[in-house]
Amino acid sequence: MDNKPTLDVRQRILQVMAQGVEALLPSFDAQTGRFLSEPDGPIAPGARPEDIGWCVINQDIIYPLAVLYTTPGTRFYGDRAILEMALRGGDAIRDFQDPDGQVEFLKVDGSRWGPTYMCWTNYAWLEAYWLLRDEMGAARRKRWEEGLTLAHDGQAREIRNLHVHNIPCWKGMSCYRAGQIFSRADWQEAGTAMIQAVMAAQQPGGYWAEHGGPSTLYNYVYVHGLGLYYAFTGDESLLPVLEAATCFHQTFTYPSGAPVETVDGRVSYHDRISSMGWVGFSATAQGRRLVRYMAERLDARRDLGRFQGGAIASAVQHLIGGEEAAINLDRETFRETYEDWAIVCRDGPWFACLSAFACPPVASRWGQDRQAFLSLWHDDQGLILGGGNSKDQAEWSSFVANGRLIPDRGKLMSDASGVALWYGHIQCLLRLELAEQKAVITATAEGGPALQQFIVQAKPGDTVRSATGAQAMLGGGALRWGPRQLGDWIEVTGCRIALPAGAQFCWPTVAFNPYAADGAAPFGAELGVLAARIDGQPIRWIIERQP
């Protein structure tokens, strides 16, 4: 089998990883061995000044550093300076451990989330140890081994209850790998049992349910963990699971390579490519093409962040070679249903997803209300309408009807033109047509009135204009335009949107952020809302890209 295409992809990943590392090297604190970063949102109430700017997962960079130091192909190969940073970075993890091997989950905003076996860092630390073990003195090696043993003893204990979730999946993979490295059969047995439980829990459609349904972003974690386990074991029983997961992800990927948030019940839209999942994808022909597609679009400054739990480094080290097969994004035009709960379509520069996946709200802060069911993308502009879900925020709902912002159930229309959603006795329909020059969205409510809404990717600094001549730059304060200010159309996010009668545009709204202790959104997360009432007659929105 010809491995050359995958080797080229691996070299591409290596080069981009080197760019990302270079940008982060100034964040190294030589006194502590910690890699520091700026909070992207407000400082947590009561945060101690000395806690702000560091989280133990910042240290995950030691794995990319170790790969760069030991892998020819960049200027960092054999660079003793990054070797010293990697070694000091591992020392900092060990310094931070409690006697039982846990660390405090301290975030860069100064918030504290309690003790944990931090699985992302423990795996990155483990692989860095394996690559650099002959480059460290006996005392440091012994100290690292003690810390890694404590961490994996703890993780092995935790995963024996076989609770399936993305974190236990990652811990199971890491325990198996640690068992290989340290000759611990008990860790391998615990890891294998967890991986088998994860395989058995995969849902029809290639995803693992979190808070009632799929989470595009967190599904990458399962795929990456299973892919690494497959790379470590060669266990071919994983291949059907990885093939199903690859089908899910090649379906729910935007033309930019970013994940489609429309079917995600946990995470809002972001424009970054995830390097999670690539090892698992590379076990299949379609997945290897998907990896190449994303690698070609990978941008170090935008995408790599803190290296996503060492995922980018493991893609260099453990990527699987083989032939490639075409994916949806190789096609210029298509409209396909996925299982019985989503439609994905493309026509030239337009790409869209409609979801009919409905489930009850969950009490957990991590599960958002499944309330938004359409996203619209244009190659020149990126995401235009959509952005995901929030929690207890009616303005993020595609429809508000019968006193409800979440539907009881959903269904695809038989002709695949759209989705039907039931809010008690009121049925709301959302149809989408794509053509080369425009997208047309039609909304209907049967059985009673409804409010129909879109999140608009209108960000601070954007300028909005309307048919009446009104104009405003977003960011100077709240904006609320009704029919008098709007007229027949609004220009926003590089598009002109023809409006139904009575439409309103409001700005700003921000989604609930479960990753901040107080739910506060990151800086610059403000978006807009377009809304119109349906009362008897269908309403229509026509979106055209402006030159």
Name the nearest CA neighbour of 39 among 53, 51, 20, 29.
53
Question: Quick one: 238 exposed, middle or buried, by C-beta within 10 A (0-12, 13-18, 19+)?
Answer: buried
If phi > 0 it is left, if psi is from -120 to 50 it is alpha, else beta; for residue 251 that is: alpha
The angle subtended at Cα 65 by Cα 60 and Cα 66, nearest 5°, is: 100
Name the nearest CA neighbour of 204 among 414, 56, 83, 357.
357
Question: Do 10 and 69 meet the contact criterion of CB atoms below 8 Å apart?
Answer: no
Average of per-residue pLDDT across 335-345? 97
Average of per-residue pLDDT across 334-346? 97
φ and ψ at 222, to 5 degrees?
-60, -45
DSSP code for 306: T
- Residue 497 CA to residue 341 CA, distance in Å, equals 27
Name the amino acid, one letter, at 33: G
What are the residues facing 527 on neighbouring strands? 509
Long-range contacts (CB closer than 8 Å, 24 or more residues apart) made by 193-198: 193/159, 193/160, 193/162, 194/159, 194/162, 194/168, 194/169, 195/169, 195/225, 195/226, 195/229, 195/238, 197/162, 197/164, 198/164, 198/168, 198/169, 198/172, 198/222, 198/225, 198/226
Q: In percent, how much of the chain has pLDDT > 70? A: 98
- Residue 435 CA to residue 308 CA, distance in Å, equals 37
Question: Do 169 and 159 meet the contact criterion of CB atoms below 8 Å apart?
Answer: no
Average of per-residue pLDDT across 166-185? 98
The residue count of the chain comes to 547
Which of these ranges, 160-164, 220-224, 266-270, 512-516, has the smallest mean pLDDT?
A: 512-516
Average of per-residue pLDDT across 325-354? 97
Question: Do 546 and 495 meet the contact criterion of CB atoms below 8 Å apart?
Answer: yes
Q: In percent, how much of the chain has pLDDT > 90? A: 87
Which of these ranges, 335-339, 387-391, 471-475, 512-516, has the smallest mean pLDDT?
A: 512-516
pLDDT, residue 387, reads: 95
Question: Do 115 and 103 meet the contact criterion of CB atoms below 8 Å apart?
Answer: yes
Average of per-residue pLDDT across 518-523? 85
CB burial of 344-380 (b: ≥16 within 10 Å; e: otherwise) equals bbbbebbbbbbbbbbbebbeeeebbbbbbbbbbbbee
**In this model, does residue 174 exceed pLDDT 90?**
yes
- pLDDT, one tens digit per residue, over 53-96 is 899 999 999 999 999 999 999 999 999 999 999 999 999 999 99
Other CB atoms closer than 10 Å to residue 332's CB: what's the count? Answer: 9
> In whole angstroms, how far apart are CA 195 and each of 117, 249, 257, 401, 410?
18, 20, 27, 42, 32
- Residue 270 CA to residue 217 CA, distance in Å, equals 10
User: What percent helix, strand, coil does the chain show, rounded to 5?
Assistant: 40, 25, 40
Question: Do 60 and 121 meet the contact criterion of CB atoms below 8 Å apart?
Answer: yes
Name the nearest CA neighbour of 372 among 361, 351, 358, 360.
358
Average of per-residue pLDDT across 1-30? 83
Please report which confidence band the pLDDT of residue 7 belongs to, taking 50, 70 and 90 as the band edges.
low
Which pTM does this prediction carry?
0.94
Please report which confidence band the pLDDT of residue 1 belongs to, taking 50, 70 and 90 as the band edges.
very low
- Residue carrying structure tokens 């001549």: 469
Please report which confidence band the pLDDT of residue 5 belongs to, taking 50, 70 and 90 as the band edges.
low
Please report which confidence band the pLDDT of residue 2 belongs to, taking 50, 70 and 90 as the band edges.
very low
Please report which confidence band the pLDDT of residue 135 belongs to, taking 50, 70 and 90 as the band edges.
very high
> What are the chain's domains?
4-329 (1.50.10.100), 331-545 (2.70.98.70)
DSSP code for 401: B
Please report which confidence band the pLDDT of residue 306 belongs to, taking 50, 70 and 90 as the band edges.
low
The per-residue pLDDT of the chain, averaged, comes to 94
Question: Do 443 and 429 meet the contact criterion of CB atoms below 8 Å apart?
Answer: yes
Question: Do 487 and 467 meet the contact criterion of CB atoms below 8 Å apart?
Answer: yes
Name the nearest CA neighbour of 441 among 368, 508, 350.
350
Determine the angle formed by the axes of helices 4-24 and 62-70, rounding to 10 degrees: 120
Question: Do 171 and 194 meet the contact criterion of CB atoms below 8 Å apart?
Answer: yes
Average of per-residue pLDDT across 172-195? 98
> In whole angstroms, how far apart are CA 177 and each of 129, 172, 219, 460?
12, 9, 21, 45
DSSP code for 443: E
Give all strands (DSSP E) within 447-545, no chain letters. Answer: 450-456, 463-466, 471-473, 479-481, 489-492, 495-498, 504-509, 527-534, 539-545
pLDDT, residue 514, reads: 87
H helices of 453-494, where? 483-486
- First and final C-alpha spacing in the chain: 46
Other CB atoms closer than 10 Å to residue 104's CB: what's the count? Answer: 16
**In this model, does residue 196 exceed pLDDT 50?**
yes
